[in-house]
Amino acid sequence: MTVAVEATDPHSLSLAQYFICLKGIVWREALRFIHQRERFVSALVRPLVWLFIFATGFRQVLGVSIIPPYETYVLYEVYIAPGLIAMIQLFNGMQSSLTMVYDRETGGMRTLLVSPFPRWWLLTSKLLAGTIVSVLQVYAFLLIAWFWDIEPPPLGYLALLPALLLSGFMLGALGMLISSLIKQLENFAGVMNFVIFPMFFASSALYPLWRVKESSLLLYYVCEFNPFTHATELIRFALYEQVNWISLAVVLGCTIVFLFGAILAYDPARGFLARRNTPAG
C-alpha cells in the first residue's frame, strides 16, 4: 500500500528544492541579523576593545619577531588582528548554536526541524547561514581596523573569504556539538568560562607560539592541539595571501568531525533532545 503511494509521490524533494531550502534559511538569518542591531554592534565592539585598548597597552610589552606570514616586523595590533577575527567567529558560532539549542522548545526551532528535508541538510544550512553572518561581522571589523593601520594587501581581503567560511563552519559546528552534549553549559556565562576563554587564550591569537614554548612546553602543546589556533593561523596566512596547509588540514578535519557529531546529536533516535528534557504537557 505504501509502495503504491510512493510511486506517484508528488512530495519527493528535488535537488533544486534543497537549494530553495538553503537559500530560505540563509536569507532569514540575514534578515534577523539586520533587525538585531544590538547583536551586530556588540559583535563589533568586542574585538575593537581588544584592538584599541588591549593591543595598545601590550604593544610595548610584547615584541613580535619576524615570523611567517609576516615579512617585516609588525605592530602588536597587526599581529592580533587575525586572532580577533577568529574570536568574532568563535563568539558568533557559540551564540547562534546556543540560541538554537536553547530555543528548541520554542516554535522557531521546531518549525525548522519539522521541515521534510533531512536534518543534516537543515543543520548544515543553518551553520552556513550563521557563518555568512560572521563573515559580514568580520569585514565590518576589518573596515574599522583599516583606519587603525591594520592594512593587509588588498587581495588578502579576497583570499580571506574561503578561510573565513571554513573557520566559521568549524566554530559553528563546534558550538552546536558542545551545547548539545554538555548539559552543564546551560548559559552563555558557562560557555564563556569553559569554552571561549580557554580556546582563545590557549591559542596563537594573542601571542606567537614560540613565545609560549619558551615559558611552558605543556601549554605550547595545548595550543598546538587547539583547533582555534589553526583557525587563527588559517586566517592569518590567508590575510597575507598565503596558505598554511597544516592549519587548513586541521580546520577541515575538525569541521568534518564536529559537523558529523552535531548531526548525530540532533538525530532524534540517538540525540540528546529526548534525553535531556521533559516537556510539561
Partner 1 sequence: MKPFEPAQIPALEIDHVSHRYGARVALNDVSFVVRQSSFTVLLGLNGAGKSTLFSLITRLYAIRSGHIRIFGHDVGREPGPALSRLGVVFQSRALDVDISVRQNLMYHAALHGIASQRAAELMAQVLDRVAMADRSQDRVGDLSIGQMRRIEIARALLHQPCLLLLDEPTVGLDIKARADILDHVRRLSSTEGIGVLWATHLIDEARSSDNVVVLHKGRVLANGMVRDIVGQSGGADLREAFNRLTGAADQTEPEAAR
Positions that interact with partner 1 (CB under 8 A): 1-2, 4-6, 8-14, 16-18, 20-21, 23-25, 27-28, 31-32, 35-36, 104-108, 110-118, 122, 267-271, 273-274, 278-281
- State whether the Cα torsion 160-28-128-134 is positive or negative: positive
In angstroms, what is the minimal distance from the CB of 267 to partner 1?
A: 8
Cβ contact 150:142 at 8 Å: yes
Distances in Å between the Cα of 159 and the Cα atoms of 153, 165, 235, 236, 271 are: 10, 11, 9, 10, 37
Nearer to partner 1, 21 or 222 (CB): 21
In angstroms, what is the minimal distance from the CB of 100 to partner 1?
A: 13
Nearer to partner 1, 21 or 182 (CB): 21
Residue 17 CA to residue 20 CA, distance in Å, equals 5
In angstroms, what is the minimal distance from the CB of 221 to partner 1?
A: 40
In angstroms, what is the minimal distance from the CB of 179 to partner 1?
A: 17
Nearer to partner 1, 95 or 203 (CB): 95
Nearer to partner 1, 183 or 221 (CB): 183
Residue 97 CA to residue 127 CA, distance in Å, equals 8
Nearest Cα neighbor of 99 from 26, 48, 32 is 32
CA angle 152, 157, 159 (to 5 degrees): 110
Cell of residue 212, nine digits: 609560549
In angstroms, what is the minimal distance from the CB of 171 to partner 1?
A: 24
Nearer to partner 1, 25 or 239 (CB): 25
For the chain, how big is the Rg over CA atoms in Å? 21
